[in-house]
């Protein structure tokens, strides 16, 4: 993060770059929008509950409005009927916004290779992190969140979203 | 399952009877489509037979089957609550003229079921008020469950339906009703002043993918139009892809909150069709996992329902119960949520040593959480104001809609397939069936809480009585032999090869079998052509019929009551939309 | 005590929001888009107008709430100094409350507190 410590008149201070500070703030206070459709949504509920506790990572405030969220967790199969809705809700989120594709159905259609299932949400929206599993165990989703936090750290302020 | 007097049934069928297709212990008749409506009405209205519940209405495309009357067939599964009798009627429909009479006014359950048959097969039900697609999107062309529709041919959908056409229909029927009752009709300005709110697929209230368009006058709901199909993943078409055991992972994901129950329901139906006898140990284990699944499902349902009403603490408590049971289930099956544990002819593996003690310990640790939650909500004034008297439905209406499970029991009818059909030694267990009084949201929640305690009793008794022995059937051709034998002798090797490559040798035929899953009666109507691959696997989803009544139970209430109403129905989209 | 704490509070109250808005102006990405600005209705196209005529009940509830809320606000200064104002102060406050309670009784009897 580029933090530098020093002392002025025996009072400690730290210096950092704005980008690092802003990214630190953003990654530690992600507001998830759980776009939960299927079984992965139940595992997401499990991640949010007390045993696995998503709020340790700052992502406790779950908001269902795209205007109030910055991380969309697509948890579950997205079918062609749902695709326009997903696209609209993603478009209504304000930048900076990230997407975690939770589960294999959201990442690639899963084992539903048929007439109604979208074969991966990356066909309609950009995805930052793919979390495999059917459903992924909560530990795996937390790992995905940590990877996303690392990804947020590596961005530069001027090229956002 | 018991049956009525065949002569009395035949008396009603009269000249429209095509053939007697009874098999596998079911009473089945094929009926000419010109007389199908008359026959169904007579069977419903007969004072002795009283087939007051339409359990399922399914279509089938018999294109590749040898034994058929016409290309399509509509299958009506009827049930008489009063007598406990079942009857199936098959109505052949030719491809050139796919029309038959609608029965939506005889049983309200038929409304959506006929729309689904239209959507999937292209069968037109004359007289249906709103015959449009229900599961596939409105830009879809073709009928996917027909055998000539290529399974992988997906069709994009660019826009979401606004549902204004259904709203117009509702306005018309509202005006008709006002005229009939002699009340003032709502004027055009009055209608235009109402607010239209779309409580759509991505909403905390909607439990996933349910969409309801509500027309509000102030806070009161005047019309509610639900739309489903936002999780239609093509279960029934995918089931025709592989062999019989390949359907089990798909079945897991039907009611994904209680996946173990769905496994058992499916394999039980296949075993009925193939005439496979499973050993007693297998049956007891299936009972145990079914009841554990019931506890988990009711915990999630009540947790979500109570959270929607506003009490968040209970969510954490009940999810801890679920996590505790997950530990045992994960050790047994390898997965937490979607465990493909049952197999046709038995189970994937036997119990691990120490299972019984661990289950007992887990239940002992978890029941105080459930009791605490019950203590928190039962006498809470706010909770009672939000759920007592809300979204009630009468028992007669519920039966017409095809309700089963805890929601029907909350209306006062003690219908439980475990007590009625007496499979898997349920008649040897001592447990009660909790029954509500008013059919409102409060009763539904309380019935589920009571069922958790009853399930605990069943699990304890089953663990005590668990016999030793094999878990797979002795009929070798249906189950995979142990690996040691496969590597040693030629016969088990051939057995293994045939099963994996060509599937379980289920003989040709068809049957319907049901099972009491936490949500109600999960039925499977399966047709086999003898090839080792399923020909048709139709799921009778309990929440499809529960959700159909949703507009009726919320119209006239306030918007805030929608949450209490929907949570109690436990609508799981995986099962609703398949 | 005087007004010294107020002299500290008011500049902070003005400065903090200005800082937050300023930081947002400098650091936040700006990418306006018609879809982004469209009405949110769970992804489906919104129907009907955004400003329908609402029933008068909502207005009634809002006005009643406002009135009694202001009443409570007036009670705060008295409650801070209740012991100093003594019995005379209590009597005056009770008279104040009594006048407003007559209004509440009127509203109650007229049925304005019922929703339907």
Q: List pLDDT tens digits, range A57-99.
A: 988 888 888 889 999 999 999 999 999 999 999 999 988 899 9
Report the SS3 class of residue B161: coil
Query: What sign does the CA torsion over B312, B314, B318, B323 have?
Result: positive
Q: Which pLDDT band, with edges at 50, 70 and 90, does A161 fall under?
A: very low
Which chains lie within 8 Å of chain C at 3 or more CB pairs, if any? A, B
Report the SS3 class of residue B537: strand
Which pLDDT does position C29 carry in this prediction? 80
Q: How far apart are CA B354 and CA B344, in angstroms?
A: 25
Residue corresponding to tokens 């009672």? B384
Closest CB to B137: pick one of A51, A80, A113. A80
**A158 shares contact with chain C (CB less than 8 Å):** no
Q: Which pLDDT band, with edges at 50, 70 and 90, does B535 fall under?
A: very high
Closest CB to C40: pick one of A65, A157, A160. A65
Are the beta carbons of B253 and A39 closer than 8 angstroms? yes
Report the SS3 class of residue B404: coil
Indicate the average pLDDT of chain B: 89
CB contact burial B222-240 (16+ within 10 A = b; e otherwise):
bbbbbbbbbbbbbbbbbbb
**B149 shares contact with chain A (CB less than 8 Å):** yes
Q: How far apart are CA C37 and CA C21, in angstroms?
A: 20
* C-alpha pair distances (Å), C91 with each of B281, C73, C98: 80, 18, 10
Are the beta carbons of B536 and B246 closer than 8 angstroms? no
CB contact burial B265-287 (16+ within 10 A = b; e otherwise):
bbbbbbbbbbebebbbbbbbbbb
Tell me which chain A residue has its CA closest to the CA of residue B256: A39
Which pLDDT does position B370 carry in this prediction? 92
**Within 10 A of B90 (CB to CB), how many other CB atoms are there?**
22
B480: phi then psi, degrees, rounded to nearest 5: -70, 130
How close is the nearest chain A Cα to the Cα of B570, in Å? 13
Q: How far apart are CA C93 and CA B567, in angstroms?
A: 47
Which pLDDT does position A2 carry in this prediction? 57
Q: Which positions in chain A touch B253 (Cβ < 8 Å)?
A: 38-39
Q: Which residues pair with B213 in a beta bridge?
A: B198, B225
Which pLDDT does position C98 carry in this prediction? 93
Are the beta carbons of B166 and B130 closer than 8 angstroms? yes
Are the beta carbons of B478 and B276 closer than 8 angstroms? yes
Are the beta carbons of B107 and B57 closer than 8 angstroms? no
Count chain B–chain C contacts defined by CB atoms under 8 A.
45
Which pLDDT does position A75 carry in this prediction? 93
Distance spanning both ends of chain B, measured CA to CA:
26
Per-residue pLDDT tens digits for B188-242: 777 777 888 888 888 877 777 889 888 888 888 989 999 999 999 999 999 998 8
Which pLDDT does position C65 carry in this prediction? 92
**Average pLDDT of the segment spanning B448-476:** 90
Report the SS3 class of residue B513: strand
**Within 10 A of C34 (CB to CB), how many other CB atoms are there?**
7
- Predicted TM-score (pTM) of this structure: 0.89
Q: How far apart are CA A4 and CA A16, in angstroms?
A: 6
pLDDT at B444 over 50: yes
Residue from C35, C39, C47, C53 whose CB has the most chain B CBs within 10 Å, to mutate: C47
pLDDT at A11 over 90: no
**A15 shares contact with chain B (CB less than 8 Å):** no
Tell me whether residues B154 and A115 touch, CB distance under 8 A: yes
How close is the nearest chain A Cα to the Cα of C37, in Å? 7
Tell me whether residues C40 and A96 touch, CB distance under 8 A: no
pLDDT at B262 over 70: yes
Which pLDDT does position B518 carry in this prediction? 92
- Length of chain A equals 161
* C-alpha pair distances (Å), B347 with each of A135, B239, B285, B333: 22, 19, 9, 10
Closest CB to A85: pick one of B150, B201, B338. B201
CB contact burial A124-155 (16+ within 10 A = b; e otherwise):
ebebbbbbebbbbbbebbbebbeebbeebeeb
Q: How far apart are CA B341 and CA B351, in angstroms?
A: 11
Nearest to B393 by CA among B169, B546, B170, B536: B546
How close is the nearest chain A Cα to the Cα of C89, in Å? 46
Which pLDDT does position A3 carry in this prediction? 65
Tell me which chain C residue has its CA closest to the CA of residue B217: C55
**A152 shares contact with chain B (CB less than 8 Å):** no
Q: Which positions in chain B touch C56 (Cβ < 8 Å)?
A: none
Report the alpha-carbon angle B339-B341-B346, nearest 5: 170
Tell me which chain C residue has its CA closest to the CA of residue A88: C43
Which chains lie within 8 Å of chain B at 3 or more CB pairs, if any? A, C
Tell me whether residues A93 and C36 touch, CB distance under 8 A: yes
pLDDT at B1 over 60: no
* C-alpha pair distances (Å), A132 with each of A122, A152, B353: 14, 20, 31
Q: How far apart are CA B338 and CA B402, in angstroms?
A: 27
Alpha helices in B350-424 (DSSP H): 355-378, 381-387, 395-401, 406-410, 417-421
- Rg of chain A (C-alpha set): 18
Tell me which chain C residue has its CA closest to the CA of residue A86: C43
Of all helices (H) and strands (E), which one includes residue B85?
Answer: strand B85-93
ipTM of the complex: 0.88
Per-residue pLDDT tens digits for B363-413: 999 999 999 999 888 888 989 888 888 888 888 999 999 999 999 999 988
Residues on chain C bordering chain B, Cβ-to-Cβ distance under 8 angstroms: 41-48, 52-55, 57-58, 115
How close is the nearest chain A Cα to the Cα of C93, in Å? 43
Report the SS3 class of residue B521: strand
Q: How far apart are CA B357 and CA B302, in angstroms?
A: 27
Q: Which positions in chain B touch C58 (Cβ < 8 Å)?
A: 218
Show the domains of chain C with their CATH numbers.
4-110 (1.20.58.1610)
Q: How far apart are CA B344 and CA B245, in angstroms?
A: 6
Are the beta carbons of B463 and B360 closer than 8 angstroms? yes
**A84 shares contact with chain C (CB less than 8 Å):** yes
Beta-carbon contacts of A88 under 8 Å, excluding residues fewer than 6 positions away, are B160, C35, C38, C43, C44
Are the beta carbons of B523 and B234 closer than 8 angstroms? no
Per-residue pLDDT tens digits for B18-55: 888 888 888 899 998 888 888 999 888 888 888 889 99
Beta-carbon contacts of B278 under 8 Å, excluding residues fewer than 6 positions away, are B271, B345, B346, B472, B473
Q: Which pLDDT band, with edges at 50, 70 and 90, does B539 fall under?
A: very high
Report the SS3 class of residue C94: helix
Tell me which chain B residue has its CA closest to the CA of residue C53: B193
pLDDT in tens, chain C (116 residues): 678 888 889 999 999 999 999 988 888 888 888 888 887 877 777 777 767 777 888 888 899 999 999 999 989 988 888 888 888 888 999 999 999 999 999 988 988 887 76
Report the SS3 class of residue B435: coil
Tell me which chain A residue has its CA closest to the CA of residue C31: A95
- Tell me which of B560 and C1 has the higher pLDDT: B560
Q: How far apart are CA B341 and CA B350, in angstroms?
A: 10
């Amino acid at each position: 993060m580029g933090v530098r410590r020093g002392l002025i008149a025996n009072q400690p201070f730290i210096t950092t770059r704005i980008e690092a500070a802003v990214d630190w703030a953003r990654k530690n206070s992600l507001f998830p929008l759980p776009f939960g459709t299927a079984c992965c949504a139940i595992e997401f509920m499990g991640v949010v509950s007390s045993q696995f506790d998503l709020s340790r990572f700052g992502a406790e405030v779950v908001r269902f409005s795209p205007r109030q969220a910055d991380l969309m967790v697509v948890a579950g199969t997205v079918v062609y009927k749902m695709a326009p809705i997903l696209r609209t809700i993603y478009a209504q989120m304000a930048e900076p916004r990230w997407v975690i594709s939770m589960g294999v159905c959201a990442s690639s259609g899963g084992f539903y290779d048929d007439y109604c299932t979208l074969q991966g949400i990356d066909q309609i929206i950009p995805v930052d992190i793919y979390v495999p599993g059917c459903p992924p165990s909560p530990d795996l989703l937390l790992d995905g969140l940590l990877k996303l936090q690392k990804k947020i750290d590596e961005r530069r302020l001027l090229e956002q979203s | 399952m018991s049956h009525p007097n065949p002569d009395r049934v035949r008396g009603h069928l009269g000249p429209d009877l095509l053939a007697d297709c009874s098999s596998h212990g079911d009473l089945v008749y094929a009926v000419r489509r010109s007389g199908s409506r008359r026959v169904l009405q007579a069977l419903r209205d007969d004072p002795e037979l009283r087939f007051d519940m339409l359990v399922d209405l399914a279509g089938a495309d018999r294109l590749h089957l040898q034994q058929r009357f016409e290309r399509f067939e509509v299958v009506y599964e009827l049930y008489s609550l009063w007598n406990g009798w079942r009857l199936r009627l098959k109505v052949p429909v030719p491809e050139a003229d796919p029309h038959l009479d609608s029965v939506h006014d005889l049983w309200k359950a038929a409304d959506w079921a006929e729309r689904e048959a239209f959507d999937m097969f292209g069968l037109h039900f004359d007289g249906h008020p709103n015959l449009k697609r229900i599961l596939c999107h409105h830009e879809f062309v073709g009928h996917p469950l027909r055998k000539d529709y290529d399974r992988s041919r997906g069709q994009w959908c660019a826009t979401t339906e606004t549902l204004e056409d259904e709203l117009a229909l509702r306005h018309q029927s509202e005006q008709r009703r006002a005229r009939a009752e002699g009340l003032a009709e709502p004027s055009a300005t009055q209608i235009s002043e109402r607010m239209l709110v779309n409580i759509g697929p991505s909403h905390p209230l909607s439990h996933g993918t349910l969409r309801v368009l509500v027309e509000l006058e102030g806070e009161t709901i005047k019309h509610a139009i639900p739309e489903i199909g936002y999780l239609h993943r093509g279960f029934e078409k995918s089931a025709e892809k592989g062999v019989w055991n390949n359907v089990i992972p798909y079945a897991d994901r039907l009611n994904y909150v209680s996946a173990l129950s769905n496994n058992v329901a499916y394999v039980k139906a296949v075993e009925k069709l193939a005439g496979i006898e499973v050993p007693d140990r297998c049956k007891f284990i299936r009972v145990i996992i079914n009841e554990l699944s019931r506890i988990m499902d009711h915990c999630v349902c009540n947790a979500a329902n109570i959270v929607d009403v506003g009490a968040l603490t209970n969510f954490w408590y009940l999810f801890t119960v679920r996590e505790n049971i997950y530990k045992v289930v994960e050790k047994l099956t390898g997965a937490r949520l979607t465990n493909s544990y049952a197999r046709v002819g038995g189970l994937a593996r036997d119990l691990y040593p120490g299972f019984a003690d661990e289950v007992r310990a887990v239940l002992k640790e978890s029941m105080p959480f459930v009791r605490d939650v019950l203590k928190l909500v039962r006498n809470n004034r706010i909770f009672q104001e939000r759920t007592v008297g809300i979204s009630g439905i009468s028992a007669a209406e519920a039966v017409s809609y095809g309700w089963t499970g805890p929601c029907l029991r909350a209306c006062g009818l003690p219908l439980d397939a475990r007590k009625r059909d007496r499979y898997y030694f349920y008649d040897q267990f001592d447990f009660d069936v909790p029954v509500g009084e008013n059919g409102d949201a409060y009763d539904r929640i309380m019935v589920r809480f009571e069922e958790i305690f009853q399930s605990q009793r069943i699990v304890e008794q089953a663990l005590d009585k668990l016999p030793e022995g094999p878990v797979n059937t002795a009929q070798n051709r249906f189950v995979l032999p142990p690996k040691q034998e496969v590597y040693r002798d030629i016969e088990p090797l051939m057995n293994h090869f045939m099963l994996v490559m060509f599937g379980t040798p289920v003989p040709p035929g068809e049957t319907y079998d049901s099972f009491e899953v936490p949500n109600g009666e999960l039925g499977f109507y399966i047709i086999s052509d003898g090839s080792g691959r399923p020909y048709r696997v139709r799921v009778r989803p309990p929440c499809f019929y529960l959700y159909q009544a949703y507009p009726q139970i919320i119209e006239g209430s306030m918007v805030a009551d929608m949450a209490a109403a929907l949570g109690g129905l436990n609508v799981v989209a995986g099962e609703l939309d398949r | 005590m005087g007004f010294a704490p107020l002299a500290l509070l008011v500049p902070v109250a003005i400065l903090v929001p200005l800082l937050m808005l300023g930081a947002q102006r400098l650091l936040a990405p700006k990418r306006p888009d018609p879809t982004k600005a469209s009405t949110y209705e769970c992804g489906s196209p919104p129907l009907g107008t955004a400003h329908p005529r609402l029933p008068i009940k909502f207005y009634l509830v809002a006005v009643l709430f406002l009135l009694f809320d202001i009443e409570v606000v007036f009670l705060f200064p008295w409650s801070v100094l209740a012991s100093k104002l003594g019995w005379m102060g209590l009597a005056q406050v009770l008279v104040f409350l009594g006048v407003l309670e007559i209004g509440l009784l009127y509203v109650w009897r007229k049925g304005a507190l019922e929703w339907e």
